[in-house]
Structure 1
């Protein structure tokens, strides 16, 4: 069995907790997700089953959309509610300028990476090293903020020093870091108190299902064409697919491309390939 499930992750579960539960529900051991969500976060987690885990990188590379809320005037060791309070400061709400911060966010080209993150340092996860008392240094990461908008900014006050925002960002952008950056524009500190992933590319969390509501997982499988509509694809018959799966090329009347998905007559993905000089060559067969 192979396919994709769209899960609306609940707060308190790690992304691997979701995988562990799906293995029990489906009986399938080979399951992976397309982009980690922190335990405190909620929202869209695309999970690949069976051989389709080899397609994860294609989905991980897509831009991601979030809604987040930060609390001004208080930083934590992890940048989220799960860490210990590290610093307190005046929230400086009088320095809030929605337009200036929005314009600066859209011009960002790099952001810090949280020390409590899954980034590997010499083969070990940064957060594990930090928990062991080992201080880590992580270089800033190149990012792109495709869209940014504050949500109800007029609600910001001394009694409610919180800002909510929606954004669409490139792969590898840490929203915890973006919240800290926003606070820095106001010359104060902050941490992210809530985070929800609302979309990956054009795939919305509105189409996802909560784990405790997943009564018929096979019926919940998402058509491949729904997930990979942004990529070049081609339907082929059984004989053409057989040839590709033997490592041979198939002649096609298409322009050269470095990446193409070969679909069977039912819309399932059979091969990831490329086209060169009028021939489709297989790279990965499923």
Structure 2
């Protein structure tokens, strides 16, 4: 007989402004403890040294995680020019150095190659799986890791600051699966000077903004109090990129039982993915077909 997970049936999103240091998993575990939640997860890993938006899903919100993971995200990061490292960030061992330093104009000209549909090779020290093993585990054991290039959509990549000859600050908006460390590495290679990430901050992810996030100090201070609950955001915020359909009362009942249910007329096309609500509360996510939503995920709210 399976073990019953202890905790509260609490649902919603808690947006954390993650500090440098803890892993994303450690942050989720702390949030779950602080809220006494039965179930929690996050929408997109941040490296331990990275800061910014880490959206933590509680309870029924975990069913909307894929939609935040797939949403556009924005990063602000500083590239250290003149050095490559084995991890493509400042924590790694320096592999190569160069005295070459590109001009601002050369950097701006090089950025265009990293915009649009590009192919990107993830860092060797990453969570990408190779034959069932995490790449970083293989790299740490000394194995020569060969990772295949993956497609990435980059909406925008701009230079925002040049603090000195050795550093450049960039902002990037991209889709799912982007590695900022790879951008820094490949930009350094394109400029003929090497490069790695010095600092990284995720400034927004889908509907969630770092400036609106809760600090880990606040999580600690407000743990197990209604004041922390007050920072929870609705489950529906994880569905903002999908069209919303209004369910009839009878349709909502049918969808909650896993059956197609009637929704009010909308401008969505046949077969489109959408979500249905009743009185503003999510009922289900599914495909719209001939006046009904055929559910793929059902919410117990």
2:111 to 89, 99, 102: 102
More displaced 10-residue stretch of structure 1: 168-177 or 255-264 = 255-264
Alignment of structure 1 residues 158-197 onto 2, 5 Å: 161-197=166-202
Contact 2:262 2:292 in 1 (8 A): yes
Question: Structure 1's 61 and 74: CA in aligned 2 closer, same or farther, altered over 3 A?
Answer: same
Q: Provide the C-alpha distance between the structure 2 equivalents of 1:183 and 1:108, rounded to a whole number of angstroms.
A: 19
Give the drift of 1:103: 2.2
How many residue pairs get aligned? The number is 281
Q: Indicate yes or no: 2:281 matched with 1:268.
A: yes
1:74 to 83, 101, 105: 83
Q: Provide the C-alpha distance between the structure 2 equivalents of 1:250 and 1:94, rounded to a whole number of angstroms.
A: 60
Q: Indicate yes or no: 2:156 matched with 1:156.
A: no
TM-score (norm 2): 0.87
Alignment of structure 1 residues 1-286 onto 2, 5 Å: 1-94=10-103, 97-107=106-116, 109-153=118-162, 155-157=163-165, 161-214=166-219, 215=222, 216-236=227-247, 238-252=249-263, 253-254=265-266, 255-265=269-279, 267-286=280-299
Q: Provide the C-alpha distance between the structure 2 equivalents of 1:24 and 1:277, rounded to a whole number of angstroms.
A: 44
TM-score (norm 1): 0.91
Gaps of 5+ in 2: 1-9
After the TM superposition, list the runs of 4 or more consecutive aligned residues in structure 1 that deviate by more than 6 angstroms: none
1:48-105 deviations in whole A, cap 9, x for unaligned?
Answer: 1113212211110011100000111111111112212222222423586133123222
1:113-169 deviations in whole A, cap 9, x for unaligned?
Answer: 10100111122211112112222211111112211111223x432xxx011111101
Question: Structure 1's 234 and 278: CA in aligned 2 closer, same or farther, altered over 3 A?
Answer: closer
Q: What is the DSSP-based 3-state SS (H/G/I as helix, E as strand, rest coil) of the residue aligned with 2:187?
A: helix
How much is the aligned-residue C-alpha RMSD, in angstroms? 1.9
Give the drift of 1:29: 3.6
Q: Provide the C-alpha distance between the structure 2 equivalents of 1:273 and 1:211, rounded to a whole number of angstroms.
A: 35
Question: Structure 1's 107 and 101: CA in aligned 2 closer, same or farther, altered over 3 A?
Answer: farther
Gaps of 5+ in 1: none
Contact 1:71 1:193 in 2 (8 A): yes
Question: Structure 1's 238 and 5: CA in aligned 2 closer, same or farther, altered over 3 A?
Answer: farther
